[in-house]
Structure 1
Amino acid sequence: MTASCTVSSHVLYAVEGRPAEGVRITLFKWEGDGFTAVASALTDADGRVSGWETGPGPHKLRFDTGEWFAGIDVATFYPEVEISFTAAEGHSHVPLLLSPFAYSTYRGS
């Protein structure tokens, strides 16, 4: 039986200290010869996407930040942010703290 895990994310707009609602996030999984998109969703009113089921191994999240910033009429240096990580059995949470000219991430719980 293949081990399973779940992936979630939370995007915070650090300039205003609020959740970033409506950011498109795409989950990719390594499939032997490259990454394949396996899920995509918009962050909810609390800036969250949760419950993506996948298997352990290399993954990445792509955050469509340029589209989101355009929607709030703010210029940004980053049209997208990609975060690569290795999902382990269980749960992996990958938050993104976002501003127009900087971002930060960490392994969440």
Structure 2
Amino acid sequence: MAGYLTTHVLDTARGYPAEGLRIALFEITGETRRKLAESETNSDGRTDSPILPQEVFKTGSYELVFFAGDYLSATGQTAEEPLFLDQVPIRFGMSDADAHYHVPLLLSPYGYSTYRGS
């Protein structure tokens, strides 16, 4: 089985999945970033399909960029400019060609966390 990458976003301030949050995936090679995919979260806070599916998965260094500021503004959770959190980049590596990698984001207007999920 080939590996794949999934993600989801939970709005910890509101206690809901973060619906409608835009996410971009980049492949990192040295100093070069190459955009591979862009998606938006559904009502469960997940993308409808893996953001990096099995048929194009390969090991390496990647970056997910979560457009948190747009989401937080759309849900009325921001008041000041500039926003404390705008784009949230998470850079990570995937070394197992047969693994499912899951990189979630727990988000609030003033903080976030992530981990390697399952």
What is the TM-score of this pair, normalised by structure 2?
A: 0.83
C-alpha RMSD of the superposition: 1.6
> Which ranges in structure 1 are unaligned for 5 or more consecutive residues?
none
Tell me the secondary structure at the aligned position of residue 7 of structure 2: strand
Deviations 1:39-89 (CA, angstroms, capped at 9, x unpaired): 000001100024222211100100000111111122141111000110232
- The answer to whether structure 1 residue 78 and structure 2 residue 85 are counterparts is yes
Instruction: Name whichever structure is richer in strand by fraction.
Output: 1
Say which SS state the counterpart of residue 38 (structure 1) adopts.
strand
State the number of aligned residues. 107
**Counterpart AA for 1:87:** M
- Structure 1 segments, 4+ long, off by >2 Å, are none
**Identity in percent:** 40
Which sections of structure 2, spanning at least 5 residues, go unmatched? none
Aligned to 2:114: 105
- Match of residue 28, structure 1, among 1, 26, 29: 26
Which of residues 49, 68, 77 in structure 1 aligns to 2:71? 68
